[in-house]
Structure 1
Amino acid sequence: MLVRSSSRLTLVAACAVLAACGARESADPLPLPAPTVLVQPDAQAVAWSAPGVIAAPESTPLSFRQAGLVLLRHVGLGDVVRAGQVLAELDPEPWRQNLASAQAGQLAAREALDVAERQWQRDRFQGREGLIAQAQMEQTRGQLAQARAQHEQATQALARARDQMAYTRLMADHDGVIVAEQAATGQNVAAGQPVYTLAWGDGLDVIVDLPAHRVTDIRPGQAAGIELVARPGLRLSARVREIARAADPATLGFRTKLRLDEPAPALRLGMTATVRFQDVAAPGARYVLPATALFHQGDQPAVWVVGADGVLALRTVEVTAYGADTVTVSKGLEPGLRVLAQGVHTVSAGQRVEAVPYRPRATVPGRGGQ
């Protein structure tokens, strides 16, 4: 009986040990593998680029001051012109006739004024001698005043006619280059209708149209790097000199002009370039993470940080840029941390995971990256 009772006690103790082990195993499950990335500063994350074009500092549309038929054009696209050079001419015949009429009218008014002045001199002398009535003198004085007014009107009309004749020639206001042609020989143009566009000014600019989320990242005087599309090996430097206060209605971009520090001889107006900016809005280190690492804690973006013991902790971050498959974080992380790269919606705070390297899925041709 004593032996049998001892066997029972041994069996009960063994079952108790097994039950305790099972309880511990269910309470402490093995950590699940979790793809992670190591947080490291990315020097390229602070740089961004925009397409630009080489341009002159100033650009002026040139037009005739009056309507007419374009009879001659003396320059074309790309021509270098000098201030005062005649660029195009209107048919002058209608204005030549107007000038001849104005000259005849002014000559007639001059003759009438001379007659009125001589008559006034005679009547004034005779009036002092008492040979004519006072009313006659007043009438002569009025005729003289009228002749003077008519002569003045005729003189002004002649000046306008001469100006109109001169306006049949379109001249350059500055030394520069013709960068656009808007009218052809034989075309009737209205007053003020552009015929050419003249680019002028000292030095060269680079013009870019920046989107709204980028225009706040730059400041006047900020440096930028310039790379020509036509000359990939050529590197130039420039500085921001002007930022538009309003967006262009057509492109919705903010026109920004940069002045090249030292224009190269190879540069030509209209060349395309890539402008590389350094973001001065938030100068510290930046960290580029997979887009799948981003989580949200309420309205705040966040990521799961894997501790040294494998325990997950949620940390809010500040995102400065969203790419096609990446996000750029500027605040909330430090170099050396490990961040969960996938499965952010399947874990919870305090959960223990086993960190494994993150390997992005390769894009399968014809599958659109699925």
Structure 2
Amino acid sequence: MALPAALVLALAVSACGRKEAPAPAPRPVVAMPAQADERLPAWTLPGEVQARYNTPLSFRVGGKIIERQVRLGDNVTPGQIVAKLDPADATKNAAAARAALSAAQHQLDYARQQLDRDRAQARENLIAATQLEQTRNSYASALAQRDQAAQQAALSADQLKYTTLQADHAGVITAEQADTGQNVAAGTPVYQLAWAGDIDAICDVPESVLAGLAVGQRASVTLGPLPGQTFTAILREIAPAADPQSRTYRAKLTLESPSPEVRLGMTANISFDNRSANGLTTYTVPATALFHDGKDPAVWVVKPQEDTLELRRVQVLRYDARTVTLSQGLNAGERVVWQGVHTVAAGEKVRAVAPLHPEDFAS
């Protein structure tokens, strides 16, 4: 059905007078181009010089210490005697075990002779078969008793030997934990031995810089008592779990070519100096620029030409007080939103503006 001419004319006039709503103005956001770090920020941690291996020296049997032959700070060699226990009881046990072994051996010899006689008589049908079986059983029992006595005699001899404490490795005595005349149980430490050889620098790493460490990384070590000398160290171990009290991670670095002046227990300053020239390109941005895509860290990047926002996942190498260092996810020159990351959305049209005081973010 055709519309009346007046209605058609009214609709046409109404359409001509309608105007489209203007597009919203792009939101201004504080953003700056990402610039690759020429050198990663370095940090220095306090530490201490220690031997790579420290073991307690203890007796394998209990007793009364009657002699100590080394003192704190003495150097020892492998096999050197460092302390002795009163051997009286162990000597008696060893003597008793040897006597028991002699008696068991005599009983075995007698049982063997009796078995030989009964075998000869059995071949002549002079004895019953059951008697031969009893003789064989007596011989087997005597053999088992002799073997048992032999093992007991060997054990007693070892326990007598254990009354003498020997150093297992070359090193230096770093602690005395028992004195002459003291009764000690088996396994009670008498000395602490620091092995000769590799020397470590030990430090506790806060979790804020843990991401910037990797096994095999090099560091510079300076020692308080040796001013002017710098040693190179290699990070060989990072504790897998934090200390429950300090919430720090124990890191162990091995010193390369330490001089003879380096002594155990010296205070150390360990400086980790990473460089992007090692193949790792990093970008340092304000901590306020960090966002999260689920559980993964991310930043907002302003797309070129389109001036729209893209949420980009990144990998954080290091957290500092006011900045974060990123190792993956950014390219040089890309504009990163520095402020208001929780008020924007993906695909939003924005207008990038520089911060009024950039030094406040980077300080």
Tell me the TM-score normalized by structure 1: 0.66
Gaps of 5+ in 2: 1-34, 298-315, 339-355
Is 1:207–1:256's contact at 8 Å kept on the other side of the alignment?
yes
Identify if the C-alpha distance between structure 1 residues 45 and 133 changes in structure 2 by more than 3 Å, giving closer, same or farther.
closer
After superposition, give the CA deviation of every residue in 1:28-86 in whole Å (9 maximum; x if it has no partner): xxxxxxxxxxxx99999811111111122222222211222222111122211111111
The 5 Å alignment of 1:1-370 reads 46-249=41-244, 251-279=246-274, 284=282, 320-322=319-321, 327-328=322-323
Q: Residue type matched to 2:59 in 1? A: F
Is 1:62–1:196's contact at 8 Å kept on the other side of the alignment?
yes
Q: Higher mean Cα deviation, 111-120 or 125-134?
A: 125-134
- What is the alpha-carbon distance in structure 1 between the residues aligned to residue 83 and residue 115 of structure 2? 50
Is 2:36–2:282's contact at 8 Å kept on the other side of the alignment?
no
- What is the alpha-carbon distance in structure 1 between the residues aligned to residue 65 and residue 272 of structure 2? 46
Identify if the C-alpha distance between structure 1 residues 251 and 58 changes in structure 2 by more than 3 Å, giving closer, same or farther.
farther
> Where in structure 1 do 4 or more consecutive aligned residues deviate above 4 Å?
40-45, 279-287, 294-300, 328-332
Is 1:70–1:88's contact at 8 Å kept on the other side of the alignment?
yes
Q: CA deviation at 1:296?
A: 9.3
Q: CA deviation at 1:297?
A: 11
Q: Higher mean Cα deviation, 41-50 or 133-142?
A: 41-50
Q: Residue type matched to 2:267 in 1? A: T
- What is the alpha-carbon distance in structure 1 between the residues aligned to residue 158 and residue 291 of structure 2? 72
SS for the counterpart of 2:54 is: strand
Identify if the C-alpha distance between structure 1 residues 298 and 149 changes in structure 2 by more than 3 Å, giving closer, same or farther.
closer
CA-based RMSD of the aligned residues comes to: 3.7
Q: Which has the larger radius of gyration?
A: 1
Identify if the C-alpha distance between structure 1 residues 174 and 101 changes in structure 2 by more than 3 Å, giving closer, same or farther.
same
Is 1:63–1:191's contact at 8 Å kept on the other side of the alignment?
yes
Q: Residue type matched to 1:129 in 2? A: E
After superposition, give the CA deviation of every residue in 1:280-308 in whole Å (9 maximum; x if it has no partner): 79864769x9xxxx9899999xxxxxxxx
- What is the alpha-carbon distance in structure 1 between the residues aligned to residue 162 and residue 319 of structure 2? 56
Identify if the C-alpha distance between structure 1 residues 42 and 119 changes in structure 2 by more than 3 Å, giving closer, same or farther.
closer
Gaps of 5+ in 1: 1-39, 301-317, 340-353, 359-370
Q: Residue type matched to 1:221 in 2? A: G
Tell me the TM-score normalized by structure 2: 0.67
After superposition, give the CA deviation of every residue in 1:310-369 in whole Å (9 maximum; x if it has no partner): xxxxxxxx99322xxxx446589x9xxxx9xxxxxxxxxxxxxx99x99xxxxxxxxxxx
Is 1:43–1:286's contact at 8 Å kept on the other side of the alignment?
no
- What is the alpha-carbon distance in structure 2 between the residues aligned to residue 227 and residue 80 of structure 1? 25
Is 1:286–1:329's contact at 8 Å kept on the other side of the alignment?
yes
Identify if the C-alpha distance between structure 1 residues 296 and 77 changes in structure 2 by more than 3 Å, giving closer, same or farther.
same
- What is the alpha-carbon distance in structure 2 between the residues aligned to residue 154 and residue 297 of structure 1? 75
Q: Residue type matched to 1:241 in 2? A: R
- Aligned residues between the structures: 281
After superposition, give the CA deviation of every residue in 1:149-174 in whole Å (9 maximum; x if it has no partner): 11111111101100111111111111
Is 1:48–1:279's contact at 8 Å kept on the other side of the alignment?
no
After superposition, give the CA deviation of every residue in 1:99-142 in whole Å (9 maximum; x if it has no partner): 11101111111111111111111111112122222222122111
Q: CA deviation at 1:278?
A: 2.2
Q: Residue type matched to 1:124 in 2? A: R
- What is the alpha-carbon distance in structure 2 between the residues aligned to residue 102 and residue 297 of structure 1? 75
Identify if the C-alpha distance between structure 1 residues 297 and 117 changes in structure 2 by more than 3 Å, giving closer, same or farther.
closer
SS for the counterpart of 1:127 is: helix
Q: Higher mean Cα deviation, 193-202 or 228-237?
A: 193-202
After superposition, give the CA deviation of every residue in 1:214-266 in whole Å (9 maximum; x if it has no partner): 22221111111111011222111111112121234465432211121221121
Q: Higher mean Cα deviation, 79-88 or 188-197?
A: 188-197
- What is the alpha-carbon distance in structure 2 between the residues aligned to residue 227 and residue 277 of structure 1? 12
Q: Higher mean Cα deviation, 45-54 or 242-251?
A: 242-251
Identify if the C-alpha distance between structure 1 residues 60 and 283 changes in structure 2 by more than 3 Å, giving closer, same or farther.
farther
Is 1:218–1:280's contact at 8 Å kept on the other side of the alignment?
no
Is 2:37–2:282's contact at 8 Å kept on the other side of the alignment?
no
Identity rate, percent: 44
Q: Residue type matched to 1:147 in 2? A: A
